[in-house]
Amino acid sequence: MQNEIVTLDGPAGAGKSTVAKLVAKQLGFKYLDTGATYRATTLSIIKKMISIEDKKSLINLLDSIKIDFDIDGNVLLDNERVTNDIRTKTINSFVSQVSALQVVREYMVNLQRRITESGQYVVDGRDIGTVVLPNAFYKFYIDADVNERARRRHEEEISKGIKTTFEEVKKSVEDRDKYDSSREISPLTVPHDADVINTSIMSIQEVVTEIVLKVNYIKHKNIQ
């Protein structure tokens, strides 16, 4: 069992990353955003103009790609800061196709396991409790109604200065739900041993408190 790992899976816009960052801070753990690894890979594919059908070029890219996180949580692609560049509409619409590729998942899962093998981590994604870190001790699945998830994403994008409408964001969230849940490899599913939290009518702080209390409770029970 990996006692020092908290996994947080769930669909797009459920609030995972905001919650995960705050939970990590309260527990004194580090945070790993696995979606960012797929987003950085997608950005690299676009920059290098590689076709995702061209497996050889894709493997060459994956062999040479360098994805890191700095101490402030910035995402570095080949030593360049790409934190904002991986959250554009173009990346949003292409990342599901890239993350559905088996070869990409193999590389990313290895990378995610390597990063988290030493240390205490809160890890968010789609397949963390099921595939990447199935032995993690504290597993959560965060969900919310699709309208609420779209509303949150829309608000987030507007605050970043991205010009978009609620309908556009909702369609993008629904498309990604469909794609992420129906793909053949590691589809988004609820880990059988996860606590499911529906955040539709909860505040961020309520979700964070619930997770931190549960982690501390289980930890305490195990020590006794």
Please, which residue, 125 or 191, has the CB nearer to ligand DC?
125
Please, which residue, 47 or 113, has the CB nearer to ligand DC?
113
Among 7, 41, 44, 99, binds ligand DC (CB under 6 A): 99
203: three-class secondary structure by DSSP = coil
Please enumerate in sequence order all residues whose Cβ is within 8 A of that of 97, keeping only pairs 6 or more positions apart, or say none. 52, 179
For residue 167, the Cα-to-chain-centroid distance in whole angstroms is: 23
How far does the chain reach from its first CA to its final CA, in angstroms? Answer: 17
Q: For tokens 């816009």, name the residue.
A: 13
- Residue 131 Cβ, how far from ligand DC at the closest point, in Å? 8
- Residue 69 Cβ, how far from ligand DC at the closest point, in Å? 13
> Does residue 48 contact residue 208 with C-beta atoms inside 8 Å?
no
- Residue 114 Cβ, how far from ligand DC at the closest point, in Å? 15
- Residue 143 in contact with ligand DC, rule: CB under 6 A: no
> Which positions from 3 through 22 interact with ligand DC, judged by CB under 6 A?
12
Nearest 5°: the CA angle 149, 77, 188 is: 35
In the chain, beta strands by DSSP E: 2-9, 30-33, 67-69, 75-77, 80-81, 121-125, 136-143, 195-198
> x/- binding map, residues 108-127, to ligand DC, per CB under 6 A?
-----------------xxx
- Residue 13 Cβ, how far from ligand DC at the closest point, in Å? 8
- Residue 96 in contact with ligand DC, rule: CB under 6 A: yes
Backbone angles phi, psi at 75, to 5 degrees: -95, 130
- Residue 35 in contact with ligand DC, rule: CB under 6 A: yes
- Residue 101 in contact with ligand DC, rule: CB under 6 A: no
Among 19, 20, 29, 39, binds ligand DC (CB under 6 A): 39
- Residue 51 Cβ, how far from ligand DC at the closest point, in Å? 19
> Does residue 151 contact residue 68 with C-beta atoms inside 8 Å?
no
> Which positions from 171 through 200 interact with ligand DC, judged by CB under 6 A?
176, 180
- Residue 176 Cβ, how far from ligand DC at the closest point, in Å? 5
- Residue 139 in contact with ligand DC, rule: CB under 6 A: no
Query: Percent helix, strand and coil across the chain, each rounded to 5?
Result: 55, 15, 30
DSSP class of residue 17 equals H
Chain contacts with ligand DC (rule: CB under 6 A):
12, 34-35, 38-39, 95-96, 99, 125-128, 176, 180
